[in-house]
């Protein structure tokens, strides 16, 4: 990663010139902090002063293996019409600072989060209500449209959700919590079931949090000490297993009276974890793949066939944000324990990406304050 040249002048002078800071993806292993123009307000949209933005595992994949969602030079995204460099950041909260023409139901000063989508609205998936499966779908903060790793962003009203009195730092986790909520909904799990979560990074922990909030017995499998401790101290796991110290499928069967887990969630993007999920569930179970993979996986189809396992994919969220915001407001999920670092935008490289890539055993969710 590299740090772009610091523009000359004070922050006040930059503001007068209509400039601000942003983290921009240029290419694989090339993310720069640069001065960028302030986005212009448009009809049907609001301008948001970004408060906090989380660093997502997808951002790390983009840096290490991309471009994945970021459009490469010469191949602009069909909806944003942008190509790299693009501003990063899709897990963010902020405060509405300007209201565009025709916007209703939002006011200046409202604290909000964003459902960071580009969709065409015209394809068969959008017309069927499955806009998260839009044929041209893209993400704000990855595919263009600005991003939460900047000072300001303009977003269409459709994607902006008021959060009431949820603290803005915690609210930056609403987006990944919505990913978890959608994955749990895809699984068909119900209260009284037992679920196994493979990996207790941010998505794994939040998935466990949604499950616990539903009354599901939750088992987490995790290697790193800090994340095992977080799974325990946050209260989202009934049992935490270390695959380097014990036979996870055997232990899951022991905990479930010999049957195995009813559902499992692969949240690591690691083939050994997927294999463990297939071994640890009961016959007829559901395994949901939540993670974004950096390389193709292999699946033992014999396990899938002989146990009639239902292996399901899940991407992002669809109409999940309002329900997730209510869960947080009602105290069913406590987001505070998952925030392990707060940094300034200029420290994104050394204290953010480097920590999460090379020292991930020391951190869970790092928030950036632009």
One digit per residue, pLDDT tens: the chain, 370 residues? 444 444 444 444 544 445 689 999 999 999 999 999 999 999 999 999 999 999 998 999 899 998 999 999 999 999 999 999 999 999 999 999 999 999 999 999 999 999 999 999 999 999 999 999 999 999 999 999 999 999 999 999 999 999 999 999 999 999 999 999 999 999 999 999 999 999 999 999 999 999 999 999 999 999 999 899 999 999 999 999 999 999 999 999 999 999 999 999 999 999 999 999 999 999 999 999 999 887 899 999 999 999 999 999 999 999 999 999 999 999 999 999 999 999 999 999 889 999 999 987 778 899 999 9
Structure confidence at residue 11 (pLDDT): 45
Structure confidence at residue 143 (pLDDT): 97
Residue with tokens 């994104």: 348
Structure confidence at residue 310 (pLDDT): 98
Structure confidence at residue 9 (pLDDT): 42
Phi, psi of 219 (to 5 degrees): -115, 130
Rounded to an integer, what distance in angstroms lies between the CA atom of residue 147 and that of residue 88? 5
Nearest to 332 by CA among 168, 208, 183: 208
Structure confidence at residue 18 (pLDDT): 57
pTM: 0.92
Where are the extended beta strands (E) located within the chain?
A: 19-27, 30-37, 45-54, 86-87, 91-99, 111-114, 117-118, 138-139, 152-156, 160-162, 194-198, 217-221, 239-241, 261-266, 281-289, 310-313, 339-344, 365-369
Structure confidence at residue 19 (pLDDT): 62
Q: Give how far Cα 85 sits from Cα of 26, 93, 142, Å.
A: 4, 23, 10
């Amino acid at each position: 990663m590299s740090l772009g040249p610091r523009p000359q002048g004070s922050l006040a002078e930059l503001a007068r010139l209509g400039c601000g800071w942003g983290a921009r993806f240029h290419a694989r292993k090339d993310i720069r902090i640069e001065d960028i123009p302030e986005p212009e307000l448009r009809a049907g949209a609001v301008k948001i002063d970004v408060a906090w933005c989380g660093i997502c595992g997808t951002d790390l994949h983009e840096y290490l293996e991309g471009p994945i969602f970021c459009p490469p030079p010469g191949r602009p995204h069909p909806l944003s019409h942008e190509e790299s460099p693009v501003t990063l950041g899709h897990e963010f909260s902020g405060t509405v600072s300007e209201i565009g023409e025709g916007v209703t139901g939002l006011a200046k000063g409202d604290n909000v989060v964003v459902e960071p989508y580009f969709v065409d609205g015209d394809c068969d998936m959008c017309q069927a209500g499955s806009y998260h499966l839009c044929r041209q779908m893209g993400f704000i903060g990855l595919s263009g449209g600005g991003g939460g790793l900047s000072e300001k962003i303009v977003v269409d009203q459709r994607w902006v959700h008021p959060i009431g009195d949820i603290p803005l730092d915690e609210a930056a986790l609403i987006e990944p919590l919505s990913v978890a909520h959608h994955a749990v909904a895809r699984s068909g799990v119900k209260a009284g079931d037992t679920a196994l979560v493979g990996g207790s990074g941010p998505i794994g922990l939040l998935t466990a949090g949604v499950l616990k909030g539903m009354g599901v017995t939750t088992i987490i499998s995790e290697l790193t000490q800090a994340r095992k401790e977080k799974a325990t101290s946050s209260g989202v796991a009934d049992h935490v297993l270390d695959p380097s110290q014990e036979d996870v499928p055997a232990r899951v069967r022991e905990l479930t009276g010999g049957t195995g887990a009813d559902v499992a969630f692969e949240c690591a993007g690691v083939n050994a974890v997927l294999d463990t999920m297939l071994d640890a569930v009961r016959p007829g179970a559901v395994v949901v793949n939540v993670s974004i993979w950096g390389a193709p996986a292999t699946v033992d189809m014999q396990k899938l066939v002989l146990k009639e396992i239902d292996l399901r994919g899940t991407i992002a969220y669809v109409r999940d944000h309002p329900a997730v915001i209510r869960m947080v407001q009602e105290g069913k999920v406590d987001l505070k324990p998952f925030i392990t670092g707060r940094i300034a935008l200029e420290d994104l490289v050394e204290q953010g990406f480097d920590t999460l890539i090379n020292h991930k055993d020391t951190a869970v969710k790092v928030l950036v304050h632009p």
